[in-house]
């Protein structure tokens, strides 16, 4: 049976009041979760940025983007873990379009 692997990217916003160690721990937690069922291609920490609108009374957050390849079941599990993890303000997982070759 053919194994289906898609490319995704996820962006999540971490509570800005967490310490550097706690923030690094959350980034590593999600990176490890993705690596357990897929392949991390790039981790881009954007750092603290101002939010477009307040979320839970916060005006800024620590942004992280991870690009990865995985089977279609991983994004759903990733979203579930984001929702139950303290310190995550917002998150999104996006499936990247496949590039068409001429």
Q: How many C-alpha atoms does 47 have within 13 Å on its Cβ side?
A: 0
CATH class of 6-95: alpha beta
Q: Where are the domains of the chain?
A: 6-95
pLDDT tens digits for 62-82?
999 999 999 989 999 999 999
pLDDT tens digits for 8-54?
999 999 999 999 999 999 999 999 999 998 999 999 999 999 999 99
pLDDT tens digits for 7-21?
999 999 999 999 999
Query: Mutual orientation of helices 74-84 and 20-37 as an angle, nearest 10°?
Result: 160
At residue 5, the pLDDT reads 86
pTM: 0.88
Spatial separation of the C-alpha atoms in residues 96 and 44, rounded to whole Å: 16
According to DSSP, residue 71 is labeled: -
For the record, the structure tokens of 94 come out as 């996006």
Spatial separation of the C-alpha atoms in residues 7 and 18, rounded to whole Å: 30
């Amino acid at each position: 049976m053919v194994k289906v692997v898609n490319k995704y990217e996820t962006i999540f916003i971490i509570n800005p009041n967490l310490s550097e160690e706690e923030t690094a721990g959350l980034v590593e937690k999600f990176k490890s979760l993705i690596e357990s069922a897929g392949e991390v291609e790039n981790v881009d920490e954007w750092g603290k940025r101002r939010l477009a609108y307040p979320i839970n009374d916060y005006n800024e957050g620590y942004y992280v983007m991870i690009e990865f390849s995985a089977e279609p079941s991983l994004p759903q599990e990733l979203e579930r873990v984001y929702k139950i993890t303290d310190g995550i303000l917002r998150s999104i997982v996006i499936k990247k379009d496949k590039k068409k070759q001429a």
